[in-house]
A and B are shown apart, each in its own frame.
Chain A
Amino acid sequence: EPEVTQTPSHQVTQMGQEVILRCVPISNHLYFYWYRQILGQKVEFLVSFYNNEISEKSEIFDDQFSVERPDGSNFTLKIRSTKLEDSAMYFCASRGGDGITDTQYFGPGTRLTVL
């Protein structure tokens, strides 16, 4: 069964450093998402991406964050200058957008630890 994959599974970085989290959505899906979950808190929406541009973003997704689909398979989230409060589990998700299925499929997550 097709699945969303994410790398790395765990990333440790120093405050102020840039990080790039990578995702490979399910092939032939058209909508891509990033969510995050701070330990013990709700899963929160960050950004959605469709047709090579951001379609929606939350208040959390400020100028520190950017997303890119550099090729036909990868979808990345970049945090320019990490802060302690960016420590969280980051989930990538994708959705078909074919009008048949609306299910969002999530990857296993990348645990980001900012020291």
Chain B
Amino acid sequence: KQEVTQIPAALSVPEGENLVLNCSFTDSAIYNLQWFRQDPGKGLTSLLLIQSSQREQTSGRLNASLDKSSGRSTLYIAASQPGDSATYLCAVRQTGANNLFFGTGTRLTVIP
């Protein structure tokens, strides 16, 4: 069964810093990987989706990379802002399946 792990569980950085969030998965037979943002008590906002054939995707200050063979993805956030404070979740969709397997999340705090 696919297991998705995110390290670190929590991260606190001063405003303006660049940072990297990590996601690892045990089964490399994935169809795609999605990064989400979750604010406390709220729903999940999709940030980026990377197909298994892609190496990276960019949206504004966010850049997600995927190394399928090693079972890793990273989310790079440039010039962090206090509004980036949230929990970031990665989720993988297995080849031949419909559903997402979610990681444990990284709780990010950006200090003004």
Contacts and interface: CB of A to CB of B under 8 A. Distances in A.
A47 B43 CA distance: 18
A18 interface: no
A108 B45 CA distance: 9
B99 interface: yes
A55 B98 contact: yes
Interface stretch (B19-27, B75-83, B100-108): B100-108
A104 B100 contact: yes
Given A42-B104, A104-B100, A109 B34 contact: no
Contact of A102 (B32, B41, B104): B32
Q: Is the interface of A mostly helix, strand, loop or mixed?
A: strand
Interface residues of A, number: 23
B49 interface: yes
Given A55-B98, A111-B41, 14 more contacts: A33-B99, A35-B100, A42-B102, A42-B104, A43-B44, A43-B89, A45-B99, A45-B101, A48-B98, A91-B44, A102-B31, A106-B43, A106-B44, A106-B46
Contacts of A55: 98
Interface of A: 31, 33, 35, 42-45, 48, 50, 55-56, 58, 91, 101-109, 111
A107 B43 contact: yes
B61 interface: no
Given A31-B98, A48-B98, A42 B103 contact: yes
Given A56-B97, A102-B32, A102-B51, A43 B102 contact: yes
